[in-house]
Amino acid sequence: MFKKPVLLVIAHGSRDPRHAATVHALVRRVRSLRPDVRVETGFLDFNIPSVQGVLESLAAEGVRDVVALPLLLTRAFHAKADIPAVLRDAPPQLRIRQAEVLGPSPLLLSALERRLYEAGLSPADKSSTGVVLASAGSSDPEANAVIAAIAREWRHTGWCAVRPAFASASLPRTEEAVRELRKLGCERVAVAPYVLAPGFLPDRIARGAADADVLADVLGAAPEVARVLVERYEAARVPVLTAVGA
């Protein structure tokens, strides 16, 4: 019997079947890290089960405490508006706390770097390699500013240069950032998708990386990402437990 709050991982959802498959693989990794926690998955759109459906099922089972964790890398519209709206419509007997989004986190930087090494780079290549930190992009300037800040931080770990890029809603695009790094004189250029799962925008990033030397895989079910989920859950569940006197 699980005694801790249920962890509800909230994913965006996609028509691309690779998206849900990646989300479920990540959730399985989280379960392996925390077998003492019940972990459920809900989708905002396109896939089932829906977030609302999961919440109603949990309430019907008698669950009371839930940590809702947005499977998002930045605090943009979904984290600020969509998810809170869905949670407000949850069954009233549920006590829900929304966890923070995944990024930024040093663990995510580690995952990005490991993906680049898996794609063929080595630590010895860092000083001669420029990296495009390619994110989905957002109409929220706060979210885009976070991506730019991550790029600046990552540059200080030894890369020749790091430039942010966006697949939608903002500029520059991946291909523009690749050209900029070429002009800077970087010996090679790598593209690191700062996205969690395959889909329409990650495919756009991949097309924009056509002239790069290296294209890393999406973050996906990387162990570092699973550890971030656990960290966010732990940070959010404490107030829940305090509230119920546990």
Question: Cα angle at 105 between 87 and 50, to 5 degrees?
Answer: 25
pLDDT band at 176 (very low <50, low <70, confident <90, very high): very high
- Beta strand 6-11 with 65-70 is parallel
Q: What is the pLDDT of residue 239?
A: 64
The sign of the torsion formed by the CA atoms of 22, 23, 25, 29 equals positive
| Tokens 């959730």 sit on residue | 27
Q: What is the pLDDT of residue 149?
A: 97
State the average pLDDT over residues 125-153: 95
What percent of the chain stands above pLDDT 90? 89
pTM of the predicted protein model: 0.94
Q: What is the pLDDT of residue 38?
A: 98
pLDDT band at 240 (very low <50, low <70, confident <90, very high): low
DSSP string, the chain: ---SPEEEEEE---SSHHHHHHHHHHHHHHHHH-TTS-EEEEESSSSSSBHHHHHHHHHHHT--EEEEEE--SS-SHIIIIIHHHHHHTS-TT-EEEEPPPS-S-HHHHHHHHHHHHHTT--GGGGGGEEEEEEE---S-HHHHHHHHHHHHHHHTTT-SEEEEEESSSSS--HHHHHHHHHHHT-SEEEEEE--SS-SHHHHHHHHHTTTSSEEPPP-TT-HHHHHHHHHHHHHHHHHHHHHTT-
Q: What is the pLDDT of residue 58?
A: 98
State the average pLDDT over residues 77-102: 93
State the average pLDDT over residues 182-198: 98
Chain mean pLDDT for the chain? 94
What percent of the chain stands above pLDDT 70? 96
Q: What is the pLDDT of residue 243?
A: 44
76 touches 138 (CB < 8 A): yes
Single-letter amino acid code for the residue at 115 = R
Instruction: Inform me whether the pLDDT recorded for 245 exceeds 50.
Output: no
Instruction: Inform me whether the pLDDT recorded for 160 exceeds 90.
Output: yes
State the average pLDDT over residues 121-144: 95
